[in-house]
Chain A
C-alpha cells in the first residue's frame, strides 16, 4: 500500500469514528427525552448524521479508486446540483437547446478538462466560452421576453453547480513542491473542515447564538459563525499532517474555507427564499437536495483552490 492509501484509510476510519460518536450522542439524547415527545432539532440532527454516513462511504470509496473516481463522483454531484438549480430558474422554450447543451455538453466537457489537467481551459471554459455561446443559442430562437433574466440565471447555475463544484476535483491537479501525488488529500481536507465547521456552527448557534446576521433569511448568528470558524481552524490544525500548508497555514486555509462556506450558505438561503422553497429538492432524505448539502463546499472550493495555487504551487 502506498502512503496515500494508508492516509486515506486512516482518514476514513477517523471520519467513521466521528460519525459513531455523533450517532451515539444522538441516541443518548433520544433516550433521555420523554417517550412521547418529538424534538425536531434532534430529528434533523439524526437524519443529517445518517446521510453523512453515506457521504463518507461514497467519498472514501472514490478516494481509494484515485483521481478518476473522485472526478466522476463530483461530476455526478454537479449533475444533481445543476438539475436542482435549473429546475427553479426562469426559462422559456427558446432556452431548450442552450439548457440541453449546459447539461449534456458543458458539464461533461468541464470534467473532462479537469481530468486531463488542462488547467488553462477549465478555468475559463464556463466563465468565457459557455458565458458567451449559450446566450447566442438562446437568442437565435428569437424570444426576447425576460431574456437577460433567463440567460443570467442559467449562467449562474452553471457557475455554481459546474464551475465551482469542479474545483473540488481540480485540487488534485495542483502541483505542489514536495507534496507529490498527495494532492488528493486536499479534497478530504476541504470537505472535512467545511462540513465539520458547519455542524459546529449549527451547534454553537443553537446554544449561545444571539445576534442574527441576516434576520428573515437564516437563523445564522455571529456567535455561531465565530465559534464554527474557530472550530474549523482547530480541525484544520489537527489535519495539517495531510496538507502541504504547515500547522499555521492549515489553520488559515481552514478558517478562510469555512467562513466563505458559511456566507455562501447565506447566499443560497436568499435564493431559496426568493423562489419560495425550503429545500432545493428531496434527493437526500432529511436534508433536501444536493445543493443544500454541498452549498458551503461549493462556495469555498474555487477560493481554496486559487489560494493554494497562489501560495503553494511553484
Chain B
C-alpha cells in the first residue's frame, strides 16, 4: 500500500500534464533563464485556477520534481480528491488563509526553501478577475527575497488562460497557452519594499507576449 499512493500521484501528474498539453498546447518560452536545476521562486500572474498546473506542466521533469507550489489550504483540502492532488501530486506548500489561525506562512515557505525546493507563488494573493494586468503584490515576495537573497526570483507570465477558461464557463477553448520565464530579480541594497514590489511587478508584466491577449 505504501508505494501505491506515490505511484498513483505520479500517474495522475502525467495525466494532468498530458491534458494541459492536449487542451492548450501549453509551451514554455525561456526568455531570461535556462531550464536548469537551480533554486528559484517562480512568481506568476494569477487569473485562473489552471495557472499553477500550467507552469508545473511546462517545467522539465528534473525541475518539476523539486518545485513546490505555494497554495491555499482551504482550496486544496476541500475534499478528498483535492487533498490528494494538491499535497501529493503537486507537492504543494499549503498555507492556511483563515484569519483566526496564525499559521506563520512565511515560516513554512522558508522551511521549504531551506530544504532545497523551488517554489511557485502568486504574489497578487488572489485571482485577478478585473481588467488590470496585475493586482498590487503582497509583501511575501519581498520578505522571501530579503530572507533568502541567494534564491532567484523568476517572473513567470501565463498568457491566455483567462480566455481559455474564463470564470463561469464550462468548456475550455483549445487555444494556445504560453508560459514565459523572464530574467530573475533580486532585492537591491537598501531598496524599499514598495520600490522592489513595483519593479518585480513590471518585470512580470513586461513578459506579456506582443499583441493582444
Chain A residues near B (Cβ < 8 Å): 79, 83-84, 86-88, 90-91, 93, 96, 99-100, 103-104, 275-277, 281-283
Chain A residues whose CB sits within 8 angstroms of the CB of B212 once the complex forms:
88, 90, 275
**Chain A: which residue is nearest B175 at the CB level?**
A87
Answer whether residue B4 sits at the interface, using C-beta atoms and an 8 A cutoff.
Answer: no
> What are 12 of the A-B contact pairs (CB < 8 Å)?
A83-B174, A86-B173, A87-B176, A91-B163, A93-B166, A96-B169, A96-B171, A99-B173, A275-B212, A276-B211, A277-B209, A281-B176
The majority secondary structure among interface residues of chain B is loop
Q: A79-B174, A91-B163, A93-B163 are in contact. List 16 more A-B contacts (CB 8 A).
A: A83-B25, A83-B174, A83-B175, A83-B176, A87-B175, A87-B176, A93-B169, A96-B169, A96-B173, A99-B173, A103-B174, A104-B171, A275-B210, A275-B212, A277-B210, A283-B25
Chief secondary structure at chain A's binding surface: helix
Residues of B within 8 A of A (CB): 25, 27, 160, 163, 166, 169, 171, 173-176, 209-212
Q: Least Cβ distance of B49 to chain A in Å?
A: 16
Are B173 and A277 in contact, CB atoms less than 8 angstroms apart?
no
User: Chain B nearest CB: distance from A30 CB in Å?
Assistant: 26
Bound-state Cα–Cα, A224 to B163, Å: 41
Docked-complex contact A282 and B174, CB < 8 angstroms? no
Chain A residue at minimal CB-CB distance from B210: A276
Chain A residues near B174 (CB, 8 Å)? 79, 83, 103
How distant is the Cα of A214 from the Cα of B166 in the complex, in angstroms?
A: 39
Q: Is the beta-carbon distance between A86 and B166 smaller than 8 angstroms?
A: no
Q: How far is the CB of B166 from chain A (nearest CB, A)?
A: 5
Contact B163 A100, beta carbon cutoff 8 Å: no
Which partner residue on chain B sits nearest A90 by CB separation? B212
Q: Which chain A residues border B211 with CB–CB below 8 Å?
A: 88, 275-277
B172 shortest CB reach to chain A, Å: 8
Q: Which residues of B contact A103 (CB under 8 A)?
A: 173-174
- Is the pair B210, A281 in contact by a Cβ cutoff of 8 Å? no
Q: Point out the residues of chain B lying under 8 angstroms from A91, CB to CB.
A: 163
Chain A residues with CB under 8 Å of B169's CB are: 93, 96
Q: Which residue of A lies closest to B209 (CB)?
A: A277
List, in ascending order, chain B residues with CB within 8 A of A84's CB: 176
Bound: A308/B42 CA distance, A = 56
Minimum Cβ distance to chain B for residue A311 (Å):
39
